[in-house]
Amino acid sequence: MMTDYTKTHVSIVGAGFTGLSAAYELARKGVKVTVLESEGEVGGLAAAFDVEGEKLDRFYHHWFTNDLDVMTLIAELGLKDRVEINPTNTGVYYANNFFRLSTPWDLLNFKPLSFTDRIRLGLLALRARRVKDWKALESKTAHEWLNELGGENVYRVIWQPLLKGKFGPYAEDVSAVWFWNKLKLRGGSRGKGGEERLAYFKGGFVALAEALAQKIRDLGGTILLNSAVVAAKRHEDKWLVETSSGSITSDRILFTTSLPITAKMIESWAPPEYLQALNRIQYIGNICLVLELDEPLSKTYWLNVNDPTFPFVGVIEHTNFERPETYGGRHIVYLSKYLPHTDKLYSMAADQFLEYAIPYLQKMFPSFKKSLVHKHHLWKARWSQPVVEKYYGSLIPSEDGPEGMHLCSMAQIYPEDRGTNYAIREGRRIGVRISEMICNGGN
């Protein structure tokens, strides 16, 4: 029961990085804030599970070295010693062969493309990073733009499989803005030799979420776990929020959940046209099979799968980034697939999905045997990735909804894409803004 917390200034729905970052800023300003989370732990998509006594992310995570907002927060929390920055190996699986693709020199030796197309591919990345007015790209799909920059062969070999792997049936609809941002971000996270450098948080990303949650509590904020929001509506100049563990009232409410979930929570109260706007943006789901292996698969951290006959967009061997000793000597591999939640694969159980995956792994890695799998885990995210279409900016609802309601979700991070760095940036920004509204007399 929530007898001590039935009244608050601001209620926040969702204890992912966005909700926690907003609560952090509100609590710092002395605003009474309560975070409501349906799960039994904080972190959202950064939730974790236990491997040999160590927390491991359910879905693979890393930061780029130019992710400054998360680095700033880590410094504020006094946790800089928990960050590890390492060079990583990136590769491509294409036509039953493996190719390194971590440095400019690797690019020049990428044999599936002609020498001319390799030069075009290198120039494409440089030209993409020089784009200043991203709004000029809103009228183009990624398909159209990438063809213009690199030609049809480069698109067919490099970009088309990645778009299809990431967005499935929506691949041809994805905006050039989304792809531009990906190229810009990766290009800014390299060492002096051109190698890609990435950062990881010791103890998993959930450790940072837990540290932030504790800081919020220390500042007087409240976080209620296992408190799924059933409905929220405006009632007698307050927000009345019904949860699975009781009711709470607040002056303002911030939703950090996916927009269709938010629409479901307020459907008994909000106007139909507003609900329609919240349901307009499409999302694609993700299933992630995590393997604990007795031996490594390869020496590559991030393997892009550019073979359309394979179901996985990537094979991420986490222990080629973070040492296997961290996980009791286990070698950790993530197999990621984006797909509509209506796809039959999405409904598979863990054992069934493992049997589905093994033949593909054996084709890719002939020495792989099922007996190497010590344990396996299957995680699913229904609202994993918003589909960023052309003119996506015009589809994003305002962060200020009716009557003291606010929105801050991954679908509103634009032109950047989802990710913990931007979740933290946007959460802190709206937290500051709501606190200013309250302090200036707007409740």
Joined together, the tokens standing for residue 187 give 């290009």
The burial class, CB within 10 Å (0-12 / 13-18 / 19+), for 323 is exposed
Query: CB under 8 Å to 102, separation ≥6 — which residues?
Result: 87, 88, 89, 90, 91, 195, 196
Q: Rounded to two decimals, what is the model's pTM?
A: 0.92
For the chain, what is the total number of helices (H) and then of strands (E)?
13, 19
Q: Tell me, what's the pLDDT at 195?
A: 58
pLDDT, average across residues 203-218? 96
pLDDT, average across residues 316-323? 93
pLDDT, average across residues 224-253? 95
Domains annotated on the chain, with CATH: 7-61+204-281+391-439 (3.50.50.60), 86-197 (1.10.405), 283-386 (3.90.660.20)
Query: CB under 8 Å to 421, separation ≥6 — which residues?
Result: 63, 64, 67, 68, 69, 70
User: Taking a C-beta distance cutoff of 8 angstroms, is the pair 31, 9 a contact?
Assistant: yes
Checking if the pLDDT of 197 tops 90, the result is no
Q: What is the pLDDT of residues 167-187, one digit of tens each?
A: 999 999 999 999 998 887 655
Of all residues in the chain, what percent carry a pLDDT higher than 90? 79
Q: Tell me, what's the pLDDT at 358?
A: 97
pLDDT, average across residues 39-62? 93
Residue carrying structure tokens 């490594």: 296
Q: What is the pLDDT of residues 332-345, one digit of tens each?
A: 999 999 999 999 99
Q: Which of 125-129, 162-166, 342-346 has the highest mean pLDDT?
A: 342-346
Q: What is the pLDDT of residues 401-431, one digit of tens each?
A: 999 999 999 999 999 888 899 999 999 999 9
